[in-house]
Amino acid sequence: MSNVGVRELKAQLSQCLRRVRSGERLTITDRGRAIAELVPKVSPASLDWAHAMVAAGLASWKGGKPEGMARRIKSRGKPASQMIIEDRG
């Protein structure tokens, strides 16, 4: 969960709403004290466990989509795309 001050929220409302729309939860602060939370209206029940882990500090998420694996998995034999092409022919 990210903290956003009232002044920053007023200045960058559209950007903050885009962050919330993508699933991020924002804590609104006034002079360093939390006064409200801005959360997505519809939160799929299947993600409640993930939100709980982030809130407990066991995981972190900066919003957005996953970037993919750090390294590729080595495979043996022909690439899958080549096998599909051969199967079609």
CATH number of the domain that 10 lies in? 3.40.1620.10
The range of the structural domain enclosing residue 61 comes to 2-65
Task: Give the pLDDT score at 26.
Answer: 94
Look at residue 35 and give its three-state secondary structure: strand
**Residue 87 resides in a domain:** no
Total count of domains within the chain:
1
**Residue 80 resides in a domain:** no
Q: What is the DSSP letter of 38?
A: E
Q: Check whether 17 has a pLDDT greater than 80.
A: yes
Q: How confident is the model at residue 44 (pLDDT cuts 50, 70, 90)?
A: low
Q: How confident is the model at residue 33 (pLDDT cuts 50, 70, 90)?
A: very high
Q: Decide: pTM greater than 0.85.
A: no
Q: How confident is the model at residue 47 (pLDDT cuts 50, 70, 90)?
A: confident
**Residue 70 resides in a domain:** no
**Residue 79 resides in a domain:** no
**Residue 76 resides in a domain:** no
Give me the residue label for tokens 């602060």: 29
CB 4 within 8 A of CB 29: yes
CA distance 55 to 80: 40
